[in-house]
Chain A
Amino acid sequence: QSVLTQPPSVSAAPGQKVTISCSGSSSNIGKYFVSWYQQFPGTAPKLLIYDNNKRPSGIPDRFSGSKSGTSATLGITGLQTGDEADYYCGVWDSGLSDGVFGGGTKLTVL
């Protein structure tokens, strides 16, 4: 069981919008920044969103993040077949003894 809870899978049609939730507690999401990672099969994860809602250079603005209380959400608009991947939320802070991940969500673009 992962410390952060994500739905195992989500799906939507090309061009549509999808959201992926990440639920935690007051000791992780409620207190620290949330980050999101995208992983294609056979490759390393890639940082998609950091500090709840910031995008690293090169990440399109179709990807967005938000946080409220002890939950966070990743949003993807204008879905493309190339967005099919696994998405993970995570919490790490240098003041913590360790980080945590969600169980991951498989996105299918129908």
Chain B
Amino acid sequence: EVQLVQSGAEVKKPGESLEISCKGSGYRFTSYWIAWVRQMPGRGLEWMGIIYPGDSDTRYSPSFQGQVTISADKSINTAYLQWTSLKASDTAIYFCARATYSSLDYWGQGTLVTVSS
């Protein structure tokens, strides 16, 4: 069974750093892209970026380029989303999802990140 299990909710202060994770199981982790998607409170889905764990090819949506870092450790089947200096506007639920050639077929449960002073 394909599963993506994300790390737990985080509460951080502005300016702090953060890394959240997404662990895949039940499939060959290196053969599928992993996408990260943001959903701000009461808003829609936003594509942040995507990584191919097989060769670490990483692509960012222009809106998120330079704002976050996406990485993966294929030895432990885990993808990461990292911030070096959080802002209040980063408060959102972040989903990881497995990407086939044309769609996001399995999703993690989401990680709520709250940034507040």
Contacts and interface: CB of A to CB of B under 8 A. Distances in A.
Nearest to B60: A98
A31 B78 CA distance: 32
Interface residues of A, number: 28
Contacts, number: 78
A10 B46 CA distance: 21
A56 B106 CA distance: 11
B49 interface: yes
Contacts of A96: 59
B45 A51 contact: no
Given A44-B108, A44-B110, A104 B103 contact: no
Contact of B102 (A37, A93, A98): A93
Interface of B: 33, 35, 37, 44-47, 49-50, 59-62, 95, 97, 99-110
